[in-house]
Amino acid sequence: MTASLTPETVALSSPSSKLRIKDILATLPRECFQKDRKKAWATVATSIAMVGLGYWAIAVSPWFLLPVAWAFTGTALTGFFVIAHDCGHRSFAKRKWVNDWVGHIFMAPLIYPFHCWRLLHDKHHNHTNKMDVDNAWQPFRPELYDSMNLGQQVGYRFMRGRFWWIGSILHWALVHFRLENYNPRDHKKVKVSIAVVVAFAAIAFPTLILTTGVWGFVKFWLLPWMVYHFWMSTFTIVHHTLPDIQFREPEEWDEAQAQLFGTVHCEYPGWVEFLCHHINVHIPHHLSTAIPSYNLRMAHESLQQTWGSQLQEHRFSWRLMQQITDICHLYHPDYAYQSFKDHDESK
């Protein structure tokens, strides 16, 4: 295939064909890649307004409406992360310093160090679904799982099962604050980002506790933060995990196949899509991180015209999460995944 590939000729290809990312991108409208300052800052205004509305709701709601207020506020805070996510990919603004400042500001309330996340997240994009290299929801090899102690096995079972929603919290706590996870040349940036969130926590948390008490800290920060991590865990596991999406050994891995056919487009309820700036229109984002979040739907509609039913498209539901958490446990070279039940019975 050549760079002059057209949607009509690509549509005749099958997922087993040899594709190149640049050929797929050539089928997308050029407008998909264009940054729009007004649209970018409109997402900022929207998220600030919605988070503010959420905290107002928490402050005035009677106890029986607090769960609704927490769900709304935590989801709106996920929109903060999506803005920083665009900044991390340099698709928010043309100037690097603007991306860095906005990214730090919007991740600070989430206690997420911006450069730490950005550097590790880039690795996920460069090696999506590549076994032993991808760092996002990679399934453990059975032999690695068997070598773990009981406590580690139980923890892994929880994270890959019905407690998938704690996965993002564990990833945040265990990975992002360790200097050894980063190239020495990036240590200065990493330290700056860690310092930003430590400073935010050192000021905001004591102030919140002194003015509203421990319950105020739980009510206004901890529970919305946990809702945010629920969506982070859910979004990220669904993005690349289904019983028929295969992680590949490095020597067999193909970039275009992984990004186009190993990435899931999932439709969530409209209010979630709105508050989270449509980040779950995820296939075009994995083809090019240069596409801003507000252009993802335009890009996806173009991919639908070209690839149709070959794309992984689903609607969020409890049934979908059951399918993932009941089956997608351990790596299998032929059948994508082996469930814990099948693994235990095979021993």
Q: How far apart are CA 185 and CA 103, in angstroms?
A: 20
Q: Phi, psi at residue 130, to the nearest 5°?
A: -95, 120
Q: How far apart are CA 121 and CA 101, in angstroms?
A: 18
**Model confidence, pTM:** 0.92
The DSSP code sequence of 73-98 is: HHHHHHHHHHHHHHHHTT-S-SSHHH
Q: How far is CA 176 from the centre of its chain?
A: 15
Let me know if residue 118 belongs to a domain: yes
If we measure between CA atoms, which residue out of 122, 100, 123 comes closest to residue 196? 100
Structure tokens at 219: 């009510």
Q: What percent of the chain shows pLDDT beyond 90?
A: 93
Q: Cβ(139)–Cβ(110) under 8 Å?
A: no
Stretch (H or E) spanning 154: helix 150-160
CA atoms within 13 A on the CB side of 132: 9
Angle at 7 between CA 3 and CA 10, to 5 degrees: 75
Let me know if residue 6 belongs to a domain: no
pLDDT reading at 3 higher than 60: no
pLDDT tens column, 284-316: 999 999 999 999 999 999 999 999 889 999 999
pLDDT tens column, 100-128: 999 999 999 999 999 999 999 999 999 99
Structure tokens at 106: 């919007």
Helix (H, G, I), strand (E, B) or coil at 331: strand
Q: What's the total number of domains in the chain?
A: 1
SS (H, E, C) 141-180: CHHHHHHCCHHHHHHHHHHHCCCHHHHHHHHHHHHCCCHH
pLDDT tens column, 156-215: 999 999 999 999 999 999 999 999 999 999 999 999 999 999 999 999 999 999 999 999
Q: How far apart are CA 11 and CA 325, in angstroms?
A: 33
Q: Cβ(189)–Cβ(115) under 8 Å?
A: yes
The span from the first CA to the last CA of the chain, in angstroms, equals 46
Structure tokens at 179: 């200097």
Q: What's the DSSP call for residue 229?
A: H
Q: How far apart are CA 194 and CA 211, in angstroms?
A: 26
If we measure between CA atoms, which residue out of 310, 328, 331, 309 comes closest to residue 320? 328
Buried b (16+ CB within 10 A) or exposed e, 122-136: eebeebbbbbebbeb
Let me know if residue 4 belongs to a domain: no
Let me know if residue 5 belongs to a domain: no
pLDDT reading at 332 higher than 90: yes
Domain that holds residue 32: 20-346
Mean pLDDT of the chain: 94
Residue 346 has what pLDDT? 86
Q: Which amino acid is at 223?
A: L
Q: Give residues with Cβ within 8 angstroms of 80, minimum separation 6.
A: 47, 51, 106, 107, 109, 110
Residue 337 backbone zone (phi > 0: left; psi -120 to 50: alpha; other: beta): beta
Under the banding of pLDDT at 50, 70 and 90, the label for residue 19 is confident
pLDDT reading at 4 higher than 90: no
Q: How far apart are CA 111 and CA 121, in angstroms?
A: 16
Residue 347 has what pLDDT? 74
Q: How far apart are CA 347 and CA 342, in angstroms?
A: 9
